[in-house]
A and B are shown apart, each in its own frame.
Chain A
Amino acid sequence: MSILRAENLTLTLRTKDASIPVLRDVSIAVAPGRILGLVGESGAGKSMIGRVLSGLLPPNMAVTAGSLHFDGHDLLTEPKRALLGREIAFIPQEPMTALNPVHTIGQQMHEHLARLGVPAGERQARAIAALDSVHTSEALLTRYPHQLSGGQCQRVLIAMAFASRPKLVIADEPTTALDVSVQARIVLLMRELQAKAGTAVIFITHDLRLAAGVCDDIAVLYAGRIVEHGPVAEVFAQEGHPYTRCLHLANPPLSGPPRALLSLPDQMPGLRALATLRGCAFAPRCPVATADCAELEPGLSVLAGAHRIACHHPARTAQILPPTDDPHPIRLPGDAILTVANLGKTFRNGPFWRRSETRAVHDASFHIRAGEFLAIVGESGSGKSTIGRLVTGLETPSAGSITLAGQDVTTPSAKTRAHRIANVQMVFQDPQSALNPRSRIADIVTQAMEAAGRPKPERQARARELLAEMALPPEIATRVPSQLSGGQRQRVNIARALCTVPRLLVADEIVSGLDVSIQAQLLTLLARLRHELDFALLFITHDLSVVRHLCDRVLVMHRGEIVEAGEVQTLFAAPRHPYTQALLASVPPDLPL
């Protein structure tokens, strides 16, 4: 018996000239004590289901067809606010910003308990009990959100969500903003509370592996429709829909032999395209599509038992295989291009009479050889980004030395600046803020030439070359960043750094925050560029599977120190440091191929 049942739900966005179906014919059901995973890339509509449930839709969106029932209530007609927080609870994506910064945790807990109707005298005891249930101390009650870590904030929010013993909990990417090791603990905690109270959970995520580990049932969304739906065991035993299969193959594996990534072309149709869509929405990207796929949209039909998919040719899905041949043989790395010895960085805060010091990096020594891809992995605050900033000269080291292509560049100065710029370039994490929104793409990617005073025609020509190298369409040269997709922007970001072909590229989390299919495109691109341009890469990331796919060697950082270093394959197969072991253990396991 389901606690929540949505049938043929259609959500429409009305604009001046069109009505766009954001969700189409979505039917889901969740039973008490079960976890339903909603999986898909950004823009697939998975978060919209949560918004329909809460009734907090933007004013230009409305449910235009279908039904939605929760525990005897018709959620489309009855006011929902009385149910929210009591019967239906939400766990947010960004725990750090989901708590009000000007009130203590205690004040916010008390407010929530008051709203649940707990008498004033019992609230403190209930708040302590709630924190206890998420294994945190009552000392948090007097603290403010900024004094807590992301994991602690999420525990508080989970405690609040489960405080009312809700019948349904909706968790929207609850672990995405957290470190890997914290992620695993938060997921375990949610499962524990959910199992104890028999709560139904909708778990929204972009991470197929995580969903496989957490959920009982799974629904894969593409362009506002459910394309595959069924119990996790059945779905992953035999992926029925080509999209699910492609998502899976775009994910770099963490164990077993390394394989090339399946890199889907283009991207999911945007909202505007949905209005005029014909045939199967996935057909233009589908490796096994036939002519009729573009004509007729497939309905959701039973594949086996409770496993349903929306595809005309389920038998062809198994034909999708990872690319087998590696077209870019890796060259043997050459001599050391960057040598870092006993590097230290201590940040000083406050005025001189009450200075506090934060040791971001301590005694780090490593080198990168020409053409080598070296990864630095670690959790937030481990000092990995600081190393990147020290190497590029954005920060000055407090100790140690940096030698770049034979010259000491430890202290950034006018003398070393030209040498540094000629040899190192940096790619920043967020292309949205790293690209000047008012500049044309051609000008952005040739910024390095502007500084060198190169004439305009030469820059134009180089911009065309760069865009071609990045597999970007030439016509974007005259556009501005906001007219590009997220994946395209990140390529422009990389193109800019490669403009003058540096010998070392420093890349800080450049694929995190991107969808899996876009990430696969970028990783494949980087591997190809490495072959063509022969540069070394310092790849800063928290994502271990990406490291294993892309890099030769890896440094593991923990609290400012390099705790383990070695060849990627060896180190991942047999980590020696307990921290590395814990880090690897907290990544959700690979799915069977």
Chain B
Amino acid sequence: MIATLLKRQATALPILLIVSALLFTALRLLPVDPAAMSMPPNATKAEVEAARVAMGLDRPLPEQYAIWIGQVAHGDLGRSIHVRRPVSTLLADTLPATIELAVAAMLIAGSLGLSGGLILFALRDNKAEPLAETATTLMMSVPEFLWALLFIFVFGVALQALPFTGRLDPGISRPVLTGFLLFDAAWLGQWKAFASALLHLVLPAAALGIAFAPPIMRVLRASLIDIYHEDYIRQARLRGLSETRILLFHALQNAGLPTLTLMGVQFGILFGGSLLIEVIYAYPGMGNLMVDAVRNADLPIIQAVGLTYCIVVLTINAVVDALYHVINPRLRAR
């Protein structure tokens, strides 16, 4: 089964190469000169030219790409032009924060979506159904940055219930291990830091995840309605099984298949969408790194973040694919 799963991921590497080539070409076509930007403003033309040669920018584009991709394959993502630190260090600092945020947001979207889907399903053909429909449409039509501002205003400013900047309270020392704050704090037993990190995660994750819940609700509701028309559900009833048993053992796993596909797609979109939320909540993740890099035309960072995004999406695809095989026996090798 593992071999089957690996074979199904055979397309991942070519995809990664194509995306990296696109990314590289697009960035080289921008009217920015990384060599000039890396030098102090009073540098002479000759000094800039020397820097250009040193950075390899005088070579043909395919050769530059080959050099870059070779370095990437060895784990060398280059140095940031602006902050003059290795890109890999910058990524190591920010990627775990963004993953933490995205996973938390997906958990919120998923749990809201699944419970909401079950409620919508229970309300089908009920008078309250249009009301629930309206609520989900509202949830979906408010953009994430508006949720973000709304949450800051209500829970942060008016109620003063939750923090809304950064990942930790200022007075708390940061547990250092993997970069995943919740994990590190729990592993090292720093429960005060854990609580603080958790509280800091609530508002950005909720703002990011909430708009993703309604599609999950609708797909789950629609799949459940379809599945309740299936013969095996009727046969289960004719065998006298309880409705709870039918829902949990027979309906949910089947209805979960299309829902899972949707959540996989959503996670990719959500990961990219974290950028705006990170800026609003001053959350030190990959999004903020990217925004700064774009502002400074810091090409090595932009390239690395773009590539990371692609890898994350491919990884999610692989995980969803594996999960699909676990819950759908028809896909397993016969």
Binding site for B on A (CB under 8 A): 54, 56, 81-86, 89-90, 92, 94, 97-104, 111-112, 115, 144, 146-147, 157, 160
Does any Cβ of A come within 8 Å of B230's Cβ?
A: yes
In the docked arrangement, what's the CA distance between A496 and B93, Å? 68
In the docked arrangement, what's the CA distance between A157 and B327, Å? 23
User: B261 → chain A, closest Cβ, in Å?
Assistant: 15
Chain B neighbourhood of A115, CB < 8 A: 239-241, 245
Chain A neighbourhood of B242, CB < 8 A: 81
A89-B238, A100-B254, A102-B327 known; 7 new pairs, CB 8 Å cut-off, are: A81-B240, A84-B237, A85-B241, A92-B234, A92-B238, A94-B231, A147-B334
- Chain B residue with Cβ nearest A84: B240
Chain B neighbourhood of A101, CB < 8 A: 232, 254, 329-330
In the docked arrangement, what's the CA distance between A431 and B42, Å? 81
Does any Cβ of A come within 8 Å of B253's Cβ?
A: yes
- Chain A residue with Cβ nearest B239: A85
Does any Cβ of A come within 8 Å of B235's Cβ?
A: yes
In the docked arrangement, what's the CA distance between A92 and B238, Å? 10
Chain A neighbourhood of B234, CB < 8 A: 56, 92, 98
- Chain A residue with Cβ nearest B232: A100
Does any Cβ of A come within 8 Å of B250's Cβ?
A: yes
User: A60 → chain B, closest Cβ, in Å?
Assistant: 11
Query: Known contacts A94-B231, A144-B329, A146-B330; is A100 also within 8 Å of B236 by CB?
Result: yes
Does any Cβ of A come within 8 Å of B328's Cβ?
A: yes
Q: Mark B301-334, 1 if CB is under 8 A from A, else 0.
A: 0000000000000000000000000011110001
In the docked arrangement, what's the CA distance between A133 and B231, Å? 24
Between-chain CB contacts (< 8 Å), 15 pairs: A54-B237, A54-B238, A56-B238, A86-B240, A90-B239, A98-B234, A99-B235, A100-B232, A100-B254, A101-B232, A102-B329, A103-B250, A111-B245, A115-B241, A146-B329
Shortest 5 CB-CB contacts between residues of A and residues of B: A84-B240, A85-B240, A85-B239, A90-B238, A97-B231
Chain B neighbourhood of A146, CB < 8 A: 329-330
Count of chain B residues with Cβ under 8 Å from any Cβ of A?
Answer: 22
Chain B neighbourhood of A89, CB < 8 A: 238-239
Cβ-defined contact, B231 with A92, below 8 A: yes
In the docked arrangement, what's the CA distance between A165 and B249, Å? 25
- Chain B residue with Cβ nearest A92: B235
- Chain B residue with Cβ nearest A146: B330
Give the interface centre of A54, A99, A102, A103 by most chain B CB atoms within 10 Å.
A102
- Chain A residue with Cβ nearest B330: A146
In the docked arrangement, what's the CA distance between A104 and B239, Å? 17
Chain A neighbourhood of B250, CB < 8 A: 100, 103
Chain A neighbourhood of B328, CB < 8 A: 102
- Chain B residue with Cβ nearest A87: B240
Cβ-defined contact, B232 with A99, below 8 A: yes
Chain B neighbourhood of A160, CB < 8 A: 239
In the docked arrangement, what's the CA distance between A54 and B242, Å? 14
Cβ-defined contact, A84 with B231, below 8 A: no
User: B255 → chain A, closest Cβ, in Å?
Assistant: 10
- Chain A residue with Cβ nearest B234: A56
Cβ-defined contact, A112 with B235, below 8 A: no
User: B323 → chain A, closest Cβ, in Å?
Assistant: 13
In the docked arrangement, what's the CA distance between A102 and B329, Å? 6
In the docked arrangement, what's the CA distance between A443 and B134, Å? 41
Chain B neighbourhood of A103, CB < 8 A: 249-250, 253
Chain A neighbourhood of B232, CB < 8 A: 97-101
In the docked arrangement, what's the CA distance between A81 and B239, Å? 8
In the docked arrangement, what's the CA distance between A167 and B236, Å? 19
User: A484 → chain B, closest Cβ, in Å?
Assistant: 24
Cβ-defined contact, B330 with A90, below 8 A: no
In the docked arrangement, what's the CA distance between A102 and B250, Å? 8
Q: Which of B240-262 contact A (CB under 8 A)?
A: 240-242, 245, 249-250, 253-254
User: A172 → chain B, closest Cβ, in Å?
Assistant: 10
Chain B neighbourhood of A111, CB < 8 A: 241, 245, 249
In the docked arrangement, what's the CA distance between A146 and B234, Å? 18
Chain B neighbourhood of A82, CB < 8 A: 240
Cβ-defined contact, A98 with B231, below 8 A: yes
In the docked arrangement, what's the CA distance between A54 and B330, Å? 31
Cβ-defined contact, B235 with A98, below 8 A: yes
Chain B neighbourhood of A86, CB < 8 A: 240
Chain B neighbourhood of A104, CB < 8 A: 329
Chain B neighbourhood of A94, CB < 8 A: 231
- Chain A residue with Cβ nearest B332: A144
In the docked arrangement, what's the CA distance between A90 and B234, Å? 10
Chain A neighbourhood of B235, CB < 8 A: 90, 92, 98-99, 157
Cβ-defined contact, A97 with B230, below 8 A: yes
Chain A neighbourhood of B327, CB < 8 A: 102
Query: Known contacts A98-B232, A99-B232; is A112 also within 8 Å of B239 by CB?
Result: yes
Chain B neighbourhood of A56, CB < 8 A: 234, 237-238
Query: Known contacts A99-B232, A100-B254; is A84 also within 8 Å of B238 by CB?
Result: yes
Chain B neighbourhood of A112, CB < 8 A: 239
User: A100 → chain B, closest Cβ, in Å?
Assistant: 4
In the docked arrangement, what's the CA distance between A102 and B239, Å? 18
- Chain A residue with Cβ nearest B10: A351
User: A492 → chain B, closest Cβ, in Å?
Assistant: 27
Give the interface centre of B231, B234, B239, B254 by most chain A CB atoms within 10 Å.
B239
Chain A neighbourhood of B330, CB < 8 A: 101, 144, 146
Q: Which of B38-74 contact A (CB under 8 A)?
A: none
In the docked arrangement, what's the CA distance between A90 and B241, Å? 13
Q: Which of B20-53 contact A (CB under 8 A)?
A: none
Chain A neighbourhood of B253, CB < 8 A: 102-103
In the docked arrangement, what's the CA distance between A147 and B240, Å? 26
Query: Known contacts A92-B231, A100-B254, A144-B329; is A85 also within 8 Å of B249 by CB?
Result: no
Q: Which of B195-246 contact A (CB under 8 A)?
A: 230-232, 234-242, 245
User: A540 → chain B, closest Cβ, in Å?
Assistant: 26
Chain A neighbourhood of B236, CB < 8 A: 100
Chain A neighbourhood of B329, CB < 8 A: 101-102, 104, 144, 146
In the docked arrangement, what's the CA distance between A14 and B72, Å? 70
Q: Mark B159-197, 1 if CB is under 8 A from A, else 0.
A: 000000000000000000000000000000000000000
In the docked arrangement, what's the CA distance between A99 and B328, Å? 14
User: A83 → chain B, closest Cβ, in Å?
Assistant: 7
In the docked arrangement, what's the CA distance between A56 and B238, Å? 8
- Chain A residue with Cβ nearest B242: A81
In the docked arrangement, what's the CA distance between A8 and B329, Å? 47
Chain A neighbourhood of B249, CB < 8 A: 100, 103, 111
Give the interface centre of A83, A85, A99, A146 by most chain B CB atoms within 10 Å.
A85
